[in-house]
Amino acid sequence: MHLIPLQPPSESQARSGGDVTLHPSAVVAAGALILAEADSRVAIAAGACIGMGAVLHAVGGEIVVAAGANLGAGVLIVGTGRIGSNACIGAATTILNPAVGDGEMVPPGSLITGSTPARAPSTSSPGAIVPAAPTGPIPGLAQLNRLRQNLFPSNGQTALSPVHPDPDDD
């Protein structure tokens, strides 16, 4: 699957319009846009996180982002519905009339419409919602940790240069 590269937003602040309720402990990143049409509202609960450049647009009712939910960068949510507590919506995902349950995860780049079953546990479809909690060892975790250590060294190690990947070549 190929995702469109996310660009930093031109706006340094998030914006909202209409009936929007934001809990003081919720976090909304730069460039996010939260809108509620007439007779609609958006409610963002405690500990929720709205990513950079995300758009939430309530039309014809209410969009609720429950406590601890995480919406990645570039997410688009339109219509009415609910994102459950501790749910995770991957970057660049579009959801029309959300019905994401508590603790569920939506993979990045997904498109979920009213015709997509909200609770289909299939991993073969990019728009499927899968369980958030891993049940065993996480594949690739050791490689991820090595990559993280190389990108963000500590304890006086030399950082890798993007121009010269070998630190001895600098």
Our CA dihedral for 43, 133, 4, 144, rounded to 10 degrees, sits at 130
User: Which pair of structure tokens corresponds to residue 100?
Assistant: 């994401």
> CB neighbours of 104 closer than 8 A, spacing ≥ 6?
84, 87, 88, 119, 129, 130, 131, 132
- Domain borders along the chain are 15-131, 134-170
Instruction: Report whether 45 contacts 25 (CB < 8 A).
Output: no
Separation in Å, CA 126 to CA 68, 119, 134: 23, 13, 18
Tens of pLDDT along the chain (170 residues) come to 555 566 666 667 888 899 999 999 999 998 899 999 999 999 999 999 999 989 999 999 999 999 999 999 999 999 999 999 999 999 989 999 999 999 999 999 889 986 544 443 344 455 555 555 555 555 666 666 666 666 666 554 444 444 444 545 44
For 15-131, CATH gives: 2.160.10.10
Task: Decide: helix, strand or coil at residue 169.
Answer: helix
pLDDT of res. 12: 72
8-state DSSP, 64: E
**Within the chain, where are the H helices?**
141-151
Cβ-Cβ contacts under 8 Å for 15 (sequence gap 6 or more): 32, 33, 34
